[in-house]
Chain A
Amino acid sequence: MNLFRAFTTGAFLVLSAGTVANADSIALTVKDAKNRSVEHAVVALTPQFETDFKFAAPEAAEMQQRNTLFAPFVLPVQTGTKVSFPNLDEFRHHVYSFSKTKRFQLKLYGKDESKEILFDNPGVVALGCNIHDNMLAFVYVTEAPIYQKTKANGTVSFEGLPAGQYKMEVWHPDLKDRKSVFTRMVAIEGDTSEAVELALRSVRKKQNPPSEEEYN
């Protein structure tokens, strides 16, 4: 038994060492037509070659409700992921989506009640709260195994990838063409960098904070 454990651990270490050996990377900068940095763009990569490389999800599959806001504003997940919806407020949220990708509603009482939703089809899921009109967020469900979203400065980088040809898809809530995502083939070798220009709507969707003035 001990011998078996030692063997499997050893094998695992060897495998880990193998993944670390992938030292290739890609750094992306996403801008709009006016050369402004684009935050909340999801960049998804699909290797165009056989690989057993496993890319860890960049963030927890979690859509919080906190201070009458969804967080994060954009959550990329892979098809088949269960996303949890913890309510960290002391009051109720009634989360819903009527997007074709996933129609659902969740009734969440306050103080840390959490429920899960399985996102089993790729596409865009716009979220709202039936009680708080200001709340807005997006779950982007992708079939790609490798994905991340851009930071406030419009950049995102993927480290330790196996070198090769990848299909790169870029999605953003404000894409002018909502029917298709931005797609390009990229060759990653060594330290690759790419710039992407997205055609976005002039008025951006955003999640407004709850109104300061509230009567009923």
Chain B
Amino acid sequence: MVRVLSLLTIGTLFSFPVAAQDSFLDISGLADFRLTHAFAGEEDFFNGGLGKTRYGASEDGSANTQLRLSEISVLAKADIAWGWKAFAHLKFDSEQDKPVDLVEAFVTYKPVPSSAWSFEYKAGLFFPHISRENISTAWTTPYTITPSAINAWVGEEIRALGLEARATYKTENHKVSLSGAIFGFNDPAGSLLAFRGWALHDAKVGAFSTVPLAPIPSIGTEDSFLRQAAYVNPIRELDNKPGFYAALDYSYGRNLQLGAFYYDNRGNPEAFNGEQYAWDTRFLNVYAEANLPSDIKFISQYMRGSTEMGVIAEGDRRYVDVDFKAAFALLSKTIGPFRLSARYDWFDNDDNSFIQVDNNFENGDAYTVAFSWRIDAKNQLLAEYLQVNSDRDNRVGLGVDTEQKNKLLQFSFRRRF
């Protein structure tokens, strides 16, 4: 962590009557170096395939081993006044559309509580609090290298540019929070879930970046069924209509957490601009998290929702009309600086319209096993094996089998600074 000279300290140099000796601004960060081995099979979705991992097989389908710099994140935290904080997260990833991009930038205001109720407000660009995994520095997960399918999707398509208010009631060991937000600039959310389906990866997407879509016949060209470009730009406003989310969270000490989160971007599915549609995407996410005996942590999330885009046509359905469901359960055990985690993911999408030309049915599951070693406060080593088994109908458009097994072995060295 780099200590940056406080503006207030400069203030004291000019003998302002401010007793400030601490830092105004903290800059910290994360560098993530990887050794990746993708087993022979399908190309990943970043490189023209429908493979469900961040790093897939080579173009010819052979195994692919690489040494990479997966990410450098820089985090700036500032105490701008008592009760006020500012936060920004910039990410460098050479494979990202914009190699340097903004992940989050927001201010929070938390007045000192005057009763068991406390209130907190947030404004800016931020991840809604859906993920129970991405709690570590630079929105990484301490349990695995790769977050679950649900939270990988949150990392790429769900971002709020908006205002959030949260009220928390705290008594003895119980804590209940109710939060709500209005936001814009999240209209294309849902595109990836429809055209690509679920994926498991840790490439959170910068606000100005796009994510490529595989060259399936229904999109991407003049003759395609849909005018959608062969990429998604998740953080965009297309219909000038704000969306909202609301959440209820409960915790009992540090041992049990339960919650529900409902999101609706209130997209106008007929709004179209710059080859991007506004998608009407809504979902419910529920979670349970518990500390079990023997230092074992249990985390589970379940999400279900729907996304629609285009005009109403055949059978009173829109061009794209997909229902999505996913769930995972994770167990993680710590032994001193070591952590062993295992996760099972399951996902299932139904397509309700135009499946003759644009079939987005899919189902699958995934197994993740990871080992982490926190060498010290700055250094961490992780090893992970991930296998995603999926059956996706629109793979036919790429000339590959609809059933695929994507297998990826990764070693990560995370260095905090």
| Nearest-neighbor residue (CB-CB) of B252 within chain A | A203
Q: At the interface, is chain B mostly helix, strand, loop or mixed? A: loop
Closest to B334 in A: A212
Structural contact, A216 and B113, CB atoms closer than 8 A: no
- With a cutoff of 8 Å between Cβ atoms, the chain A residues found around residue B373 in the complex are none
With an 8 Å Cβ cutoff, the count of chain A residues facing the other chain is 26
Contact B21 A215 (CB under 8 A): no
Q: Mark A172-216, 1 if CB is under 8 A from B, else 0.
A: 000000000000000000000000000001010100100111111
A-side contacts of B138, CB under 8 Å = 215
With contact pairs A205-B173, A215-B138 given, residues A130 and B112 touching in the complex (Cβ less than 8 Å) = yes
Q: Are A216 and B114 in contact (CB under 8 A)?
A: no
Whether B22 and A130, one on each chain, are in contact in the complex, defined by CB atoms closer than 8 angstroms, is no
**Interface members, chain B 68-102 (any A CB < 8 Å):** 75, 77, 79, 82-83, 87, 89
Report whether B21 and A105 are in contact in the complex, using a CB–CB cutoff of 8 Å.
no
Task: Indicate if the CB atoms of B22 and A105 lie closer than 8 Å.
Answer: no
B172 beta carbon closer than 8 Å to chain A: yes
Any chain A CB within 8 A of the CB of B137?
Answer: yes
Pick the contact of B135: A92, A205, A215 (CB < 8 A).
A215
Near B by CB (< 8 A), chain A positions 31-63 give none
Binds B, one of A21-29, A64-72, A76-84, A106-114: A106-114
Contact code string B232-270 (vs A, CB < 8 Å = 1, else 0): 000000000000000000001110000000000000000
- Residue ID in chain A nearest B136 by CB atoms: A213
Is the pair B142, A213 in contact by a Cβ cutoff of 8 Å? Answer: yes
A128 within 8 A of B: yes
A130 and B85 alpha carbons, distance in the complex (Å): 12
State which residues 10-29 of B face A: CB under 8 Å.
19-23
Q: Is B112 within 8 A of A111, CB to CB? A: no
Contacts of B20 in A (CB 8 A): 109
Query: Is A7 at the interface (CB under 8 A from chain B)?
Result: no
Determine whether the beta carbon of A113 is less than 8 Å from that of B21: yes
Which residues of chain A are near B113, meaning CB under 8 Å? 96, 98, 128, 130
Q: Which single residue of chain A is at the shortest CB-CB distance from B110? A: A130
Contact with B along A97-109 (1 / 0, CB 8 A): 0100001010101
Measured between alpha carbons, how far is A212 from B376 in the docked complex, in Å? 12
Is B104 positioned at the interface, with any CB of A under 8 Å from its CB? yes
| B115 CB-CB contact with A under 8 Å | yes
Give, as a whole number of angstroms, the nearest-CB distance from B7 to chain A. Answer: 13
A201 partner residues in chain B, CB cutoff 8 A? 172
| 27 A-B pairs (CB sep. < 8 Å) | A90-B23, A91-B22, A94-B83, A96-B113, A98-B113, A98-B115, A98-B116, A103-B114, A105-B112, A109-B21, A110-B22, A110-B23, A130-B112, A201-B172, A203-B172, A203-B252, A203-B253, A205-B173, A208-B254, A213-B137, A214-B136, A215-B135, A215-B137, A215-B138, A216-B75, A216-B77, A216-B87
